[in-house]
A = this chain, B = another copy of it.
Amino acid sequence: MNDRRNDTRAPVPRDKTNDHTHDAARMRREFLTARTGLPLDHVGSYSFDPGVTAGNIENFIGAAQVPIGLAGPLRINGEHVSEDVYVPLATTEGTLVASYNRGMRILTEAGGVKTTIHERFMQRAPVFHFNDARGARSFAQWIDGNPDGIRAAAETTSSVAKLSHIERYSVGPMLHLRFNYETGDAAGQNMCGKATLAACEWIAANHPGGARYTLSGAMDTDKKHSQLNVLHSRGARVIAEAWIPSSLLKERAGVDAATLFRARLNSFAGSVMAGSANNGMHAANGLAALFIACGQDAANIAESHTAITFVRLEDDGETYYWSITLPALIVATFGGGTQLPTQGECLDILGCRGKGKVGRFIEICAATVLAGEISLASAVVAGDWVESHDRLGRNR
């Protein structure tokens, strides 16, 4: 490349032959250094061959190093994991690991977390356009009558993606179709996009008079929380439950079950007024830390942080039943960032790398979230919330 160091609007330099190399990364860091004087030593200190990032990043310059802390053990009584696990959490927020760790101890001592995956699908939702609402309605009927052709077209594009069912939503002269796929151990957004494109092309070719469509009409709802996700799931719908003795809560968190229960009812009312995507505490915290550690797409925190807490003080007045339903947990143990070096190692710590492991990982995510709920809810009520941030956080 010619010297464009003084060109404030130069494009980021690229190596057209192979752009995922140490040299290409260094070239771009030097490009930045020339402009800023920054050495970028840490960004340039990664422990892997840049070739492994092909398919994960463009214009690679190095790596962000996000500290990982270890929490656990956490006892999980799931269907894909039935043991004590240690959980790596990548975060820069002081107290987060300590808080989840405390919650895990409580849950483990209570006998563990029961985890249940209710369903798991990934979606792509094209919208079809017609001259009027009747066109959309006729089309809906035609779609109903042609499940096999649609499925066959969709499933030609991948050996993994299996079309499960298609939701339909009509508005004005349009029909939105929300395709639901099983996607194996992948999160599956891209394979669903590809499969749905093929299905749409088949539809356009076979529907009498053709069909105009856009591959997404905003009902997917990709990288966005939505009430639709609450109802019909996106990724996994998974539920974590625990039955916790009041005496244990009192001992470990300084607050009894009845007090915690009452605070939860109060918070439910606040959550309803706020129109909140989650009537619990902070699912986003544990999930973001797990996602970054384990090579998940952190943007999916948008969807995945959604949750419904359902609690009950049992008739004995002593056992606190606590459940959290995550309707849109989007994770993978294959594809995306899962095979990258540190990310793969963290999945390995959990026994979750590769094929056939996504169920296990989903259950671990859900159980981890529940640990965080219990710990933070207790801290808020017991009054040690601010104090622990003062002690462990940067604000000291």
Interface SS, A side:
mixed
Q: How far is the CB of A107 from the nearest CB of chain B, in Å?
A: 12
Chain A, range 26-62, C-beta contacts under 8 Å to B: 28, 32, 35-36, 38, 40-43, 45-48, 53, 55-62
Known contacts A223-B283, A288-B299, A310-B173; A218 and B271 CB within 8 A of each other: yes
List residues 163-192 of chain A with CB under 8 A from any CB of chain B.
Answer: 169-174, 176, 190-191
Q: Would you list which residues of chain A between 61 and 98 have a CB under 8 Å from chain B?
A: 61-73, 75, 83-84, 86, 88, 90-98
Given A227-B227, A308-B273, A325-B171, check contact A57 B214 (CB 8 Å): no
- Is the CB–CB distance between B116 and A273 below 8 Å? no
**Chain B residues near A225 (CB, 8 Å)?**
225, 276-278, 302, 305-306
Q: Find A63's partner among B68, B98, B215, B308 (CB 8 Å cutoff).
A: B68
Instruction: Tell me if A337 is interfacial: C-beta within 8 Å of chain B.
Output: yes
Binary B-proximity of A134-152 (CB < 8 A = 1, otherwise 0): 1011001000000000000
**Does any Cβ of B come within 8 Å of A335's Cβ?**
yes
Q: Say whether A270 faces chain B, with CB atoms less than 8 Å apart.
A: yes
Contact (A172, B270) CB under 8 Å given A47-B65, A335-B394, A345-B38 = no
Cβ B56 vs Cβ A194 within 8 A: no
A306 to B306, CA, bound (A): 13
Does chain B have a CB within 8 A of A375?
no
Contact pick for A57, options B56, B94, B341, CB 8 Å: B94
Copies in the complex: 4
Whether A108 is near chain B, meaning CB under 8 Å from some CB there, is: yes
B59 engages A71 (CB within 8 Å): yes
A21 at the interface (CB under 8 A from B): no
A318 part of interface (Cβ distance < 8 Å): no
**Residue total for A at the interface (Cβ-Cβ under 8 A):** 169
User: Closest approach, in angstroms, between the C-beta of A61 and any C-beta of chain B?
Assistant: 5
**Complex formed: what's the CA distance from A301 to B302 in Å?**
6
Give min CB distance, A262 to chain B, whole Å.
7
Q: Any chain B CB within 8 A of the CB of A392?
A: yes
Do A299 and B273 contact each other (CB < 8 Å), given the known contacts A42-B341, A43-B346, A262-B312? Answer: no
A214 to chain B, nearest CB (A): 6
What CA separation (Å) do A40 and B55 show in the bound complex? 23
In the bound complex, residues from chain B placing their C-beta under 8 Å from that of A63 are 65-68, 90, 342
